């Protein structure tokens, strides 16, 4: 069958690769299924979701249980759906009870569950047993699915916002100075558009107290979005005959979120921006 020793060795190598692949996949499947070892474990969305995904990604016929695969997948799908519905209900009820003003809590979407609570947005990941407070699509803090912890984190983040923000007129001047610093570094003339994220490092130098609220040396992205949104709300995009202009990010420029900045307008609306400049009005 094999005309040379080389062909035989090649065939053996291919068999070893196939066997190792099955063994590797089998270990991952076994690890996921082993977590479901009790009634209590079957109440964990993350455990059930992991097991379901592993069952769908593997062929149990390799392990002699092909006839059980369809039934197991069906049962875990039903269980996961029931767990999601129940967890959704429990979390909403808990948040409603813990919130000072539950009427200000707005559900943006159900799947995934996204909740707006001024000025922040809560993204809920039931299968990972966590939620994330965000602002302007920037993650601020991970929390558990405990309603009390979620609301405590919200208040702490709002307090941080209040402590970090500055008067819009003062911020306009700092933003203009940071822009001028970028132009000087790049050797560009006044009025040239620059990437909005280029202003983060100089803003960090000008505003060290804000940098102290995060790791790193650059100005926090969420705070830049917040302050620009506040400039707009306060009618200060133009000041002393100079106009602040923002360049909208379109098409492919929005793919790399690190190069653009989302500036919200209310609970559900907003726009990604790529560039910024100051020009004579």
- 10-residue averages of pLDDT along the chain (281 residues): 68 67 77 84 88 85 80 88 92 90 86 91 91 95 95 93 87 95 94 95 84 67 93 91 92 78 86 94 81
Q: pLDDT for 232-243, tens place per residue?
A: 999 999 988 999
CA 114 – CA 108 distance, rounded (Å)? 5
pTM of the model: 0.79
Label the pairing between strands 138-143 and 194-195: unpaired
- What was the pLDDT predicted at 69? 83
Helix residue ranges, H only, 99-167: 147-164
Neighbour count for residue 179 (Cβ, 10 Å): 22
Q: What DSSP string describes 186-223? A: HTPPTT--EEGGGGHHHHHHH-HHHHTTSSSSSPPHHH
- What was the pLDDT predicted at 15? 66
**Residue 35, exposed/middle/buried by CB under 10 A (0-12, 13-18, 19+)?**
middle
CA 51 – CA 77 distance, rounded (Å)? 10
- What was the pLDDT predicted at 212? 59
- What was the pLDDT predicted at 213? 55
**% of the chain exceeding 70 in pLDDT:** 91
CA 200 – CA 211 distance, rounded (Å)? 10
**Cβ-proximal residues to 194 (8 Å cutoff; 6+ apart), any chain:** 179, 182, 183, 186, 188, 275, 276, 277
- What was the pLDDT predicted at 9? 64
């Amino acid at each position: 069958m094999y005309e040379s020793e080389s062909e035989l060795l090649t065939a053996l190598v291919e068999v070893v690769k196939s066997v190792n692949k099955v063994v590797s996949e089998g270990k991952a499947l076994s690890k996921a299924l082993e977590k479901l070892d009790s009634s209590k474990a079957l109440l964990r969305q993350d455990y059930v979701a992991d097991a379901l995904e592993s069952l769908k990604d593997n062929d149990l016929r390799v392990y002699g249980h092909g006839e059980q695969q369809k039934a197991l997948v069906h049962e875990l799908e039903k269980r996961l759906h029931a767990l999601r519905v129940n967890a959704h209900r429990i979390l909403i009820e808990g948040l409603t009870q813990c919130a000072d003003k539950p009427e200000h809590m707005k559900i943006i979407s159900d799947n995934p569950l996204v909740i707006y609570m001024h000025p922040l947005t809560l993204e809920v990941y039931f299968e990972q047993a966590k939620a994330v407070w965000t602002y302007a699509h920037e993650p601020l803090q991970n929390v558990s699915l405990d309603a009390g912890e979620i609301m405590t984190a919200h208040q702490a983040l709002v307090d941080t916002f209040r402590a970090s923000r500055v008067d819009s007129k003062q911020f306009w001047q700092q933003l203009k100075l940071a822009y001028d610093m970028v132009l000087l570094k790049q050797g560009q003339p006044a009025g040239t558009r620059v990437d909005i994220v280029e202003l983060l490092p100089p803003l960090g130098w000008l505003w060290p107290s804000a940098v102290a609220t995060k790791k790193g040396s650059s100005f926090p992205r969420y705070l830049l979005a917040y302050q620009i949104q506040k400039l707009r709300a306060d009618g200060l995009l133009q000041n002393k005959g100079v106009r602040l202009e923002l360049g909208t990010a379109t098409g492919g420029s929005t793919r790399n979120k690190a190069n653009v900045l989302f500036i919200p307008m209310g609970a559900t609306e907003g726009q990604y921006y790529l560039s910024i400049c100051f020009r004579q009005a």
